[in-house]
Structure 1
Amino acid sequence: MTLLNVNALGVTLGDPLFTDLNLTMSKGDRIGLVAANGRGKSTLMSCLAGEFEQTTGDVTRARGLRIGHVQQYVPEAAQELTLYDLVLDALPTEQAEYESWRVDVALDELAVPYDLQHQPLNTLSGGWQRTALLAAAWITEPDMLMLDEPTNHLDLHRIGLLQSWIAALPRELPVLITSHDRAFLDATTNRTLFLRAERSRVFDLSFTPARAALEEADAADERRFANDLNKAQQLRKQAAKLKNIGINSGSDLLITKTKQLTERAAKMEAAAKPAHKERSAGEIKLGNSGTHAKALITFDEADVTTPDGRLLYRTGQKWISKGDRVVLLGANGTGKTQLIQMVQRALDGQEGSAVKSAPSVVPAYSDQHLSQLDDAATPMTTVAGQFDVGDQRARGLLAGAGVNIQMQDTKIGALSGGQKARLAMLVLRLKNPNFYLLDEPTNHLDIEGQEALEDELIAHGASCLLVSHDRSFLRNVGNRFWWINGKKLEEIDSPDAFLQGEMAGD
Structure 2
Amino acid sequence: MILACQKIEKAFGGKSVLNNVNFLINEGEKAAVIGINGAGKTTLFKIITGEYEADHGEVIFQKGSTYGYLSQIIDVSSHRSIYEEMLDAKKDIIELEKKIRQLEKDISTLSGEALESAMESYSRFTDRFEKANGYAWKSEIIGVLKGLGFDESQFDTPIHTLSGGQKTRVALSRILLMHPDLILLDEPTNHLDMESIRWLETFLSNYRGAVLIVSHDRYFLDKVVDKVIEIERGNSQVFNGNYSAYAEKKKAQRDAQMKLYMNQQQEIHHQEEVITKLRSFNREKSIKRAESREKMLSKIELVDKPVTLNSKMRITLEPEVLSGNDVLTIEGLSKSFGDKALFRNLNVQIKRGEVVGLLGANGTGKTTLLKIINRQLRADSGKIRYGSKVSIGYYDQEQHVLDDSKTIFDEISDAYPKLTNTRIRNVLAAFLFTGEDVFQVIGTLSGGEKGRVSLAKLMLSNANFIILDEPTNHLDIQSREILEEAINNYEGTVFYVSHDRYFINQTATRILDLSPEGIVNYKGNYNYYLEQKEAGNVSADSDNITLAASADKSPAPSPEKAKEDWKRSREEAAKQRKRANDLKKTEKEISRLEAENDQLKNEMALPENATNVSKLMELNTKFEENESTLLELYDKWEELSE
CA change 1:263–1:451 in 2 (3 A) is same
Deviation at 1:157, TM superposition (A): 0.6
What pairs with 1:84-233 in structure 2 (closer than 5 Å)? 84=83, 86-87=85-86, 104=138, 107-110=141-144, 111=146, 112-121=150-159, 123-170=161-208, 173-232=209-268
1:457-495 CA distance string (max 9 Å, x none): 120223122111121212221222223355333323235
Which residue does the alignment assign to 2:620?
none
Matched, 1:338 2:368: yes
In 2: Cα distance, 1:504 partner to 1:63 partner: 47
Which residue does the alignment assign to 2:59?
59
CA change 1:441–1:351 in 2 (3 A) is farther
In 2: Cα distance, 1:91 partner to 1:411 partner: 46
Higher helix share: 2
- The worse-fitting range, judged by mean Cα deviation, of 372-381 and 39-48 is 372-381
Matched, 1:275 2:306: yes
CA contact under 8 A between 1:284 and 1:453: conserved in structure 2? Answer: yes
Which residue does the alignment assign to 2:395?
366
CA change 1:17–1:285 in 2 (3 A) is farther
Q: Which has the higher contact order (CA 8 A, sep 6+)?
A: 1
What pairs with 1:351-362 in structure 2 (closer than 5 Å)? 354-358=383-387, 360-362=389-391
Deviation at 1:504, TM superposition (A): 11
1:295-331 CA distance string (max 9 Å, x none): 2221122224345463623223x32222122222323
CA contact under 8 A between 1:88 and 1:103: conserved in structure 2? Answer: no
What pairs with 1:229-378 in structure 2 (closer than 5 Å)? 229-232=265-268, 248=283, 255=288, 261-268=293-300, 271-278=302-309, 284-306=315-337, 308=339, 310=341, 312-316=343-347, 318-345=348-375, 354-358=383-387, 360-373=389-402, 378=407
Q: Which secondary structure state, in structure 1, belongs to the residue aligned with residue 506 of structure 2?
A: helix
Which residue does the alignment assign to 2:48?
48
- The worse-fitting range, judged by mean Cα deviation, of 489-498 and 40-49 is 489-498
In 1: Cα distance, 2:239 partner to 2:326 partner: 48
Matched, 1:425 2:455: yes
Deviation at 1:421, TM superposition (A): 2.5
Q: Could you tell me which amino acid in structure 2 is paired with residue 163 of structure 1? A: E
- The worse-fitting range, judged by mean Cα deviation, of 416-425 and 471-480 is 416-425
Which residue does the alignment assign to 1:7?
6
In 1: Cα distance, 2:16 partner to 2:534 partner: 39
CA contact under 8 A between 1:329 and 1:498: conserved in structure 2? Answer: no
CA contact under 8 A between 2:358 and 2:495: conserved in structure 1? Answer: yes
Which residue does the alignment assign to 2:518?
488
Q: Which secondary structure state, in structure 1, belongs to the residue aligned with residue 393 of structure 2?
A: strand
- TM-score with structure 1 setting the length: 0.84
5+ residue gaps, structure 2, are 99-133, 539-642
Q: How many pairs does the alignment contain?
A: 494
CA contact under 8 A between 1:160 and 1:504: conserved in structure 2? Answer: no
Larger radius of gyration: 2
Which residue does the alignment assign to 2:495?
465
CA change 1:431–1:84 in 2 (3 A) is same
CA change 1:232–1:8 in 2 (3 A) is farther
CA change 1:227–1:404 in 2 (3 A) is closer
Q: Could you tell me which amino acid in structure 2 is paired with residue 108 of structure 1? A: I
Matched, 1:71 2:100: no
CA change 1:242–1:309 in 2 (3 A) is closer
In 1: Cα distance, 2:532 partner to 2:204 partner: 18
In 1: Cα distance, 2:491 partner to 2:161 partner: 40
In 1: Cα distance, 2:7 partner to 2:480 partner: 31
CA contact under 8 A between 2:325 and 2:351: conserved in structure 1? Answer: yes
5+ residue gaps, structure 1, are none
1:316-366 CA distance string (max 9 Å, x none): 3x3222212222232332232232122122x89988661122463221112
Q: Could you tell me which amino acid in structure 2 is paired with residue 67 of structure 1? A: Y
- The worse-fitting range, judged by mean Cα deviation, of 52-61 and 83-92 is 83-92
Deviation at 1:43, TM superposition (A): 0.9
CA contact under 8 A between 1:67 and 1:142: conserved in structure 2? Answer: yes
Which residue does the alignment assign to 2:116?
none
Matched, 1:19 2:19: yes
CA change 1:65–1:348 in 2 (3 A) is closer
